[in-house]
Structure 1
Amino acid sequence: MPACEADYTKFAERNAELFAVSVDSVPTNKAFAESLKVTKYAILSDFHPKGEVSKKYGVYLEDKGISARATVVVGKDGRVKWCKVNELPAQRRNDEIVKACE
């Protein structure tokens, strides 16, 4: 998340709107964002009903009660253009995401 914060301008230059989605509650997401100093984009809560959005994208891990670490690029038409699921603790590669936003 700090890497996306650092590369925020690259996303903005491509008219991409950046946000994160977590199955945690709003207060938990707020505290998490503050701890990482994430201020340029929002962390949205998929808390109630738990994981509803994550399930629609096929990334909810029912047995763990969390969503996978997935990055999804949605086009202006509302369709998924690109998706990648990263195994923990692997980090996202922003260069791949930026390219998908072009």
Structure 2
Amino acid sequence: MEDFRLKDHSGKEVHLNDFRGKKVLLSFHPLAWTEVCAEQMNSLEENQELFGKLNTVAFGISVDPIPSKKAWAKELGITHIRLLSDFWPHGEIAKEYGIFRDKEGFSERANIIIDDKQEIIFLKVYPIHELPDIAEIIKVLER
């Protein structure tokens, strides 16, 4: 996938191409307001300073609509990580990356790392009820 545009939980557009020269972590989670997804987004928020040192921008992505993502970010105390809405066309970006679950109508739990030239250097799908290991992601980013 070359590029995409999605709106974040504040309604601001995120254009992947704007992050050329940086690594991008796309952390897909099935649905907001669920326990493991909340832990996944909190782990991004807790590590945002380290991501900055590693020249990386991290995003949380799900099919939830913007108002839901906004309320959820407020509930979780997310102030640095942008939560992107892949709501409409429903799951389009997850489908582009081959991680959309048609039967359930949401994405896999997955982390995708895109390098500074916008090439995918890491893609891992996790069991739906398992929290991704942030240490594994940091090791990849440090390479």
Distance in 2 of aligned mates of 1:85 and 1:33:
23
Output aligned runs, 1:1-102, within 5 Å: 1-102=41-142
RMSD: 1.0
Q: Distance in 2 between matches of 1:38 and 1:92?
A: 18
Looking at structure 2, the residues matched to 61 and 70 of structure 1 have their Cα atoms a distance apart, in angstroms, of: 12
Q: Which structure ranks higher in relative contact order (CA pairs < 8 Å, sequence separation ≥ 6)?
A: 2
Aligned length: 102
Secondary structure in 1 aligned to 2:45?
helix
Q: Distance in 2 between matches of 1:59 and 1:31?
A: 25
Unaligned runs of 5+ in 1: none
Q: Distance in 1 between matches of 2:84 and 2:58?
A: 11
Q: Matches of 2:126 and 2:75 in 1, distance apart?
A: 22
Over 3 Å off, 4+ runs: none
> 1:65 offset after TM fit, Å?
0.4
SS of residue in 1 equivalent to 2:55: coil
In structure 1, C-alpha distance between the alignment counterparts of 2:132 and 2:78, rounded to whole Å:
16
Question: TM-score of the superposition, structure 2-length normalised?
Answer: 0.68
Per-residue deviation, 1:62: 0.6
